[in-house]
């Protein structure tokens, strides 16, 4: 989705009465505390909802994200906004028992589920922490990942800068996020997403949270703009890969070696 002291600032989803996500020029306008409280509330339905909303494509997207890290056995990774820890668990499988994976999230409710799911991998650890002030030393990891979490951050640039800070020179920063498709088929899929997700949210009795999901996606920058933000914080060789008709993208950047 690090035996480091928990960080107090919560964030991951928006609760009743939370303002809709909106562009601020650099990040999500919804208060981090509202985002965190929302993810605590939706933790019990989160994985099932993700499966339905993604058209059961999430495992495939996760595999492509893990592959993009370039991780090998014995390496170390940090997964930011780890949620219920699915991506962190896949990273742990990749690095094996001689490696190390740390999952960080502001939602204790999500992390409770992540810890249960990852209990059989002692080299996988979950801690409460703020994506804009990661609880880790500089140049600690070989890769840093974030999946469907960057659009929740109040400052995208700071989020990418923190991920770059904690990876070693030559290490990779990898971001999987919902995107704005350009193809006709992709745009039709996006239209389905924007109409169906609020309905699914109401059926799951989480209407506000899933209205927030749609608004946060609308507010998120285009893939080219995300790549530019990554370059602005010093990442090099930035590239991105569209998946599922451009509905999601995987961005990859390297921390410079010089």
What does 115-130 look like in DSSP terms, one character per residue?
HHHTTT-TTEEEEE-B
C-alpha to C-alpha distance for 72 and 76, rounded to whole angstroms: 9
Q: What is the DSSP letter of 61?
A: H
Q: What confidence score (pLDDT) does residue 185 get?
A: 62
Q: What confidence score (pLDDT) does residue 20 get?
A: 43
CA-closest candidate to residue 176, choices 86, 241, 109, 101? 241
Query: How many residues in the chain?
Result: 258
Q: What confidence score (pLDDT) does residue 102 get?
A: 98
Q: What confidence score (pLDDT) does residue 23 get?
A: 43
Q: What confidence score (pLDDT) does residue 73 get?
A: 98
Q: What is the DSSP letter of 153?
A: S
Sign of CA dihedral 5, 90, 163, 138: positive
Task: Read off the pTM.
Answer: 0.84
Burial class of residue 241 (count of CB atoms within 10 Å of its CB; 0-12, 13-18, 19+): middle
User: Cβ neighbours of residue 46 under 8 Å, at least 6 residues apart?
Assistant: 39, 83, 84, 110, 113
Domains of the chain by start residue, with CATH = 32-254 (3.40.50.150)
Q: What confidence score (pLDDT) does residue 4 get?
A: 31
pLDDT (tens, 9 = 90+) of the chain, 258 residues, equals: 333 333 333 333 333 334 444 444 588 877 777 788 888 888 888 788 778 877 889 999 999 999 999 999 999 999 999 999 999 999 999 999 999 999 999 999 999 999 999 999 999 999 999 999 999 999 999 999 999 999 899 999 999 999 999 999 999 999 999 887 666 565 566 666 666 666 666 666 666 766 777 777 778 888 999 999 999 999 999 999 999 888 899 999 999 997
User: Cβ neighbours of residue 109 under 8 Å, at least 6 residues apart?
Assistant: 39, 40, 41, 43
């Amino acid at each position: 989705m690090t035996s480091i002291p928990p960080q107090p600032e919560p964030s991951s989803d928006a609760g009743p009465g939370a303002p809709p996500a909106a562009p601020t020029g650099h990040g999500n306008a919804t208060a981090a505390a509202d985002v965190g409280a929302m993810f605590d509330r939706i933790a019990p339905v989160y994985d099932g909802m993700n499966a339905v909303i993604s058209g059961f494509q999430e495992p495939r997207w996760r595999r492509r994200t893990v592959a993009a890290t370039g991780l090998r056995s014995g390496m170390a990774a940090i997964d930011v906004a780890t949620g219920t820890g699915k991506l962190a668990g896949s990273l742990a499988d990749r690095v094996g028992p001689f490696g190390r994976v740390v999952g960080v999230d502001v939602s204790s409710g999500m992390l409770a589920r992540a810890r249960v799911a990852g209990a059989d991998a002692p080299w996988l650890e979950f801690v409460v922490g703020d994506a804009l002030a990661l609880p880790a030393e500089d140049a600690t990891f070989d890769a840093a990942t974030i999946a469907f979490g960057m659009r929740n951050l109040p400052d995208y640039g700071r989020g990418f800068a923190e991920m770059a800070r904690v990876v070693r020179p030559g290490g990779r920063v990898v971001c999987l996020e919902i995107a704005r498709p350009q193809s006709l088929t992709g745009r039709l899929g996006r239209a389905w997403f924007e109409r169906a997700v609020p309905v699914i949210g109401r059926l799951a009795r989480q209407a506000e949270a899933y209205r927030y999901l749609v608004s946060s996606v609308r507010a998120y920058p285009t893939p080219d703009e995300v790549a530019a933000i990554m370059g602005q914080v010093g990442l090099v060789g930035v590239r991105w890969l569209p998946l599922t008709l451009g509905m999601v993208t995987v961005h990859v950047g390297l921390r410079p070696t010089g």
